[in-house]
């Protein structure tokens, strides 16, 4: 799996990415969970490591069912089916499955870890930079996905019978591109083999609405050509930088897929060739019979388009392109992995070492009379009583005393009279409706009570609330200060999101029933109010800014009744209608006015409810006496929260100018007069007139350069550097 997960913060270039919530590595069987990648409605994904003999280490990704879904036979069966199907797939363009099992009542899948980004994150970054993806890069990615799909579509069982596998969820979030430029398909969670149970039969819609084929959107029987259409949607969006079937709500998106009116990619990007238009439109034919009949045919045409370049030769180009856009994230991911590994090693050393069979090492080779190991013995007559080695005893006692002193130093605070409320912050969570049995609150993955008085200050935390029968609520970027009391009231939303079919009834139903005839999404709004204060000013609780989000019911489709959607297919769609995406704006110093798309949204710090998911917003921070700061933010997924924090510098004297810095290849961190100001491209950065020291650094390639640039009053200075290794 890639490191990128759902709901991540995507900010403009040249800005520092907010810190991710701290996560303490945890032991999960023979695996050590290092870093959370994504938490969905039904499962959570972690980067993990396993340790073996002689310093052996392996990075993997663990996908496990959330606790309250472990008792759902239908979901567990789907999870097991995914593991059984995926483990048969061994191909360079498909993420490999290593292990499957159950630990502490939690089913899990261990899979290959891909250091890179999913296609969704890549296209977001491209939109934030206001650029089109190079056509050759888009064609290369589609070519590699087609190659992996062709293998899966044609796979046979052990006796040579075709499995007829259909992925059914080819979308940007399920296409991973490694930092080395290699492309892999992931998540066969709803894939269907011909021998699958009736949970995968016609009449059931599973997948993301905006990437379905027309036949899939109607709930009709699908074959491998449905995946080719979905790949065509991904290719169209890579080439144009627009969403093909995204509409204001899921029902309209579904209808857009069914209508299947597709404009030429070149109508959005005139630089595209007619050949690429033709390839893309063939894959997007509404009639499956007019599409490429095999993924290999699409692969072959893309390969012809790429000539004289070859797919293998484009991998390094793709790698360089990614490093230019994600260099800072690559560095942060590497640092998180190193920190997590060191902590996991401590956990590993505290446990009994376990070999590959799961037995303790002491059990793996029990002593027996036939052992080849020999022990040298002294032949003695009468056994003598061994005397006490007092020197050894004294030495051991001294070592134990030193260890005890060190332990006391670690456990006892240096200032014992310091009150906990001065060193920590307090978090109080109020969950509505009240009294839900089995409600659990997690802070950075650790179970906490509803009121927790030992929240570490100055660190971005992740708050997760889980209750049986309700959608999980996840809030990231929660950062408190010492002595602060933070009260958050969260309205949970029941899991009742179904679209049903019925040939006899005309009234919509809110229950999941495949024998009923109208389509309807039943949902309720979700709201979250937060209040904060310090212990020194409790009156602030009554004056704090609160945010309410009360979306109305989703529109009911008047279109032809067709199919039943189960809850799993709505994890990324209908469930999202229930809680608007939230962006938390912060600034240093606080009190800055924030304008979103030119309209004042509030004064930092505050929470802002975005109108749409995956929407690009232009943001400007303004504060008297300080330079304004502009940024770009992509709203997170529905029900998710992200943080955008900016530092505003004091306004410099009138004798100033601006500076822009770019590098020809790769990326660079920019330090001006010893202060980190952002990453390339650095645009219109205001500086006092005079000479400044500019240091460019790329820690990934261990490159560093220093230049001196003179800024002139009222003038703009632009510099481009060749930063290749």
Q: Collapsing DSSP states into helix, strand and coil, what is residue 686?
A: strand
Q: Flag the least confident range among 54-58, 133-137, 279-283.
A: 54-58
Q: What is the mean pLDDT of residues 90-100?
A: 93
Question: What percent of the chain stands above pLDDT 90?
Answer: 29
CB–CB of 271/198 below 8 Å?
Answer: no
Question: What percent of the chain stands above pLDDT 70?
Answer: 69
Phi-psi region of 139 (alpha: psi -120 to 50; beta: other; left: phi over 0): alpha
Structure tokens at 342: 């060191």
For the chain, the structural domain boundaries read: 10-341, 420-579, 656-721
Decide if 169 is catalytic: yes
Q: Which among 120, 122, 97 is positioned nearest to 110, based on CA atoms?
A: 97
CB–CB of 170/211 below 8 Å?
Answer: yes
Tell me what pLDDT residue 477 has: 61
Tell me what pLDDT residue 516 has: 33
Going through 484-527 in order, the beta strands assigned E by DSSP cover: 484-491
| C-alpha to C-alpha distance for 289 and 323, rounded to whole angstroms | 40
Q: Which among 85, 100, 219 is positioned nearest to 163, based on CA atoms?
A: 85
Cis peptide before 276 (omega within 30 of 0): no
| C-alpha to C-alpha distance for 301 and 480, rounded to whole angstroms | 55
In eight-state DSSP terms, residue 636 is: -
In eight-state DSSP terms, residue 385 is: P
Q: What is the mean pLDDT of residues 17-39?
A: 75
CB–CB of 489/529 below 8 Å?
Answer: yes
The widest CA-to-CA distance across the chain, in whole angstroms, is: 101
Q: Which fold has domain 10-341?
A: Transferase(Phosphotransferase); domain 1 (1.10.510)
Distances (CA, A) of 552 to 574, 628, 687: 13, 36, 48
CA atoms within 13 A on the CB side of 513: 13
| C-alpha to C-alpha distance for 231 and 243, rounded to whole angstroms | 13
Tell me what pLDDT residue 533 has: 34
Q: Flag the least confident range among 68-77, 242-251, 645-654.
A: 645-654
Tell me what pLDDT residue 350 has: 55
| Higher per-residue pLDDT: 424 or 95 | 95
CB atoms within 10 A of CB 213: 28
The 3-state secondary structure of 651-671 reads: CCCCCEEEEEEEECCCCCEEE
**What residue has token string 């032991």?**
27
Please name every residue paired with 489 in a beta bridge, in sequence order, or none if there are none: 430, 529
Handedness of CA 5, 9, 12, 15 (dihedral sign): negative
| C-alpha to C-alpha distance for 574 and 613, rounded to whole angstroms | 12
CATH number of 656-721: 2.60.40.10
**What residue has token string 């134990």?**
400
What is the chain's alpha carbon radius of gyration, rounded to the nearest angstrom? 29
Of the ranges 69-78, 204-213, 259-268, 610-619, the best mean pLDDT one: 259-268
In eight-state DSSP terms, residue 444 is: T
In eight-state DSSP terms, residue 367 is: -
CB–CB of 443/461 below 8 Å?
Answer: yes
CB–CB of 672/692 below 8 Å?
Answer: yes
Res. 563 pLDDT band, cuts 50 70 90: very low
Mean of per-residue pLDDT scores for the chain? 75
β-strands 675-679, 669-672 pairing: antiparallel
CB–CB of 721/701 below 8 Å?
Answer: no
Q: Flag the least confident range among 264-273, 698-707, 709-718.
A: 698-707
Consecutive H or E run containing 431: strand 425-432
Tell me what pLDDT residue 46 has: 92
Distances (CA, A) of 380 to 369, 377, 383, 559: 22, 9, 7, 97
Consecutive H or E run containing 254: helix 250-259
Tell me what pLDDT residue 38 has: 80
What is the phi/psi pair of residue 71, to 5°? -95, 10
| C-alpha to C-alpha distance for 485 and 541, rounded to whole angstroms | 9
Distances (CA, A) of 47 to 82, 341, 440, 465: 19, 11, 23, 21
| C-alpha to C-alpha distance for 167 and 146, rounded to whole angstroms | 12
Q: Which is the catalytic residue, given 169, 502, 566, 614? A: 169
- DSSP letter string, 118-149: EHHHHHHHHHHTT-PPPHHHHHHHHHHHHHHH
| C-alpha to C-alpha distance for 362 and 287, rounded to whole angstroms | 63
| Higher per-residue pLDDT: 245 or 86 | 245
| C-alpha to C-alpha distance for 525 and 536, rounded to whole angstroms | 35
Consecutive H or E run containing 618: strand 616-622
Query: pLDDT digit string (tens) for 246-300?
Result: 998 888 999 999 999 999 999 999 999 999 999 999 999 999 999 999 999 999 9
Q: Collapsing DSSP states into helix, strand and coil, what is residue 402?
A: helix
CB-based contacts of 28, cutoff 8 Å, min separation 6: 46, 48, 62, 64, 103, 104, 106, 108
Quick one: 390 exposed, middle or buried, by C-beta within 10 A (0-12, 13-18, 19+)? exposed
Query: pLDDT digit string (tens) for 460-505?
Result: 677 888 888 887 777 766 777 777 788 887 878 776 544 333 333 3
Tell me what pLDDT residue 410 has: 53
| C-alpha to C-alpha distance for 131 and 241, rounded to whole angstroms | 8
């Amino acid at each position: 799996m890639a490191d990128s997960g759902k709901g991540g913060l995507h900010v403009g270039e040249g800005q520092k990415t907010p810190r991710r919530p701290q996560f303490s590595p945890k032991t999960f069987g023979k695996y050590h969970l290092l870093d959370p990648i994504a938490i969905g409605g039904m499962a959570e994904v972690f980067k993990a490591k396993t340790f073996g003999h002689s310093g052996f280490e392996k990075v993997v990704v663990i996908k496990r069912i959330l606790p309250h879904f472990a008792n759902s036979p239908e979901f567990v069966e789907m999870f097991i089916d995914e593991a059984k199907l995926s483990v048969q797939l061994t191909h360079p363009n498909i993420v490999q499955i290593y292990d499957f099992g159950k630990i502490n009542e939690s089913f899990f899948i261990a899979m290959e870890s891909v250091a890179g980004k999913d296609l969704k994150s890549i296209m977001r970054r491209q939109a934030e930079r206001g650029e089109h993806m190079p056509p050759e890069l888009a064609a290369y990615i589609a070519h590699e996905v087609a190659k992996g799909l062709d293998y899966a579509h044609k796979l046979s069982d052990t006796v040579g019978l075709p499995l007829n596998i259909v992925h059914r969820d080819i979308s940007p979030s399920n296409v991973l591109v490694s930092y080395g430029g290699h492309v892999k398909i992931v998540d066969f969670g709803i894939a269907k083999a011909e021998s699958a149970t009736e949970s995968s039969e016609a009449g059931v819609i599973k997948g993301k609405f905006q990437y379905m084929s027309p036949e899939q959107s109607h709930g009709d029987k699908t074959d491998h050509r449905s995946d080719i259409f979905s790949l065509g949607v991904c290719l169209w969006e890579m080439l144009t930088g627009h969403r093909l079937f995204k509409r204001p709500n899921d029902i309209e998106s579904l209808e857009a897929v069914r209508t299947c009116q597709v404009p030429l990619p070149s109508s959005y990007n005139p630089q595209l060739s007619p050949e690429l238009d033709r390839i893309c439109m063939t894959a997007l034919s509404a009639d499956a019979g007019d599409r490429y009949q095999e993924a290999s045919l699409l692969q072959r045409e893309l390969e012809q388009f790429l000539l004289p370049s070859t797919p293998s030769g484009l991998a390094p180009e793709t790698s360089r392109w990614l490093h230019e856009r994600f260099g800072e994230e690559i560095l942060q991911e590497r640092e998180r992995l190193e920190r997590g590994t060191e902590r996991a090693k401590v956990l590993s050393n505290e446990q009994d070492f376990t070999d590959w069979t799961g037995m303790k090492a002491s059990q793996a080779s029990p002593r027996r009379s036939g052992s080849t190991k020999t022990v040298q013995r002294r032949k003695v007559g009468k056994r003598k009583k061994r005397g006490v080695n007092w020197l050894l005893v004294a030495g051991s006692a001294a070592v134990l005393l030193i260890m005890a002193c060190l332990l006391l130093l670690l456990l006892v605070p240096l200032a014992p009279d310091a009150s906990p409320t001065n060193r920590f912050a307090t978090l109080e969570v109020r969950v509505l409706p009240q009294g839900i049995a089995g409600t659990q609150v997690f802070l950075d993955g650790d179970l906490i009570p509803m009121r927790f008085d030992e929240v570490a200050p100055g660190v971005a935390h992740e708050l997760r609330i889980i209750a049986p029968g309700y959608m999980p609520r996840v809030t990231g970027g929660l950062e408190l200060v010492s002595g602060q009391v933070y009260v958050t009231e969260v309205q949970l939303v029941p899991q009742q999101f179904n679209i049903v079919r019925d040939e006899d009834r005309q009234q919509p139903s809110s229950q999941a029933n495949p024998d009923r005839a109208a389509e309807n999404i039943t949902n309720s709004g979700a709201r979250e109010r937060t209040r904060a204060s310090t212990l020194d000013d409790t009156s602030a609780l009554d004056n704090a800014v609160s945010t309410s989000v009360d979306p109305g019911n989703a529109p009911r489709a008047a279109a032809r009744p067709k199919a039943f959607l189960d809850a799993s297919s709505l994890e990324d769609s209908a469930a999202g209608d229930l809680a608007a995406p939230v962006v938390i704006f912060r600034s240093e110093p606080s009190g800055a006015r924030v304008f979103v798309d030119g309209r004042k949204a509030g004064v930092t710090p505050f929470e802002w409810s975005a109108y749409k998911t995956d929407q690009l917003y232009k943001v400007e921070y303004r504060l008297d006496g300080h330079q304004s700061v502009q940024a770009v933010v992509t709203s997170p997924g529905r029900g998710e929260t992200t943080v955008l924090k900016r530092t505003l510098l004091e306004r410099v004297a009138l004798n100033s100018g601006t500076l822009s810095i770019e590098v020809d290849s790769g990326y660079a961190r920019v330090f001006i007069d010893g202060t980190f100001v952002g990453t390339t491209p650095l645009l219109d950065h205001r500086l006092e007139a005079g000479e400044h020291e500019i240091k460019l650094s790329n820690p990934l390639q261990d490159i560093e350069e220093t230049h001196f640039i003179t800024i002139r009053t009222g003038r703009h200075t632009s510099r481009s550097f060749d930063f290749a290794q």
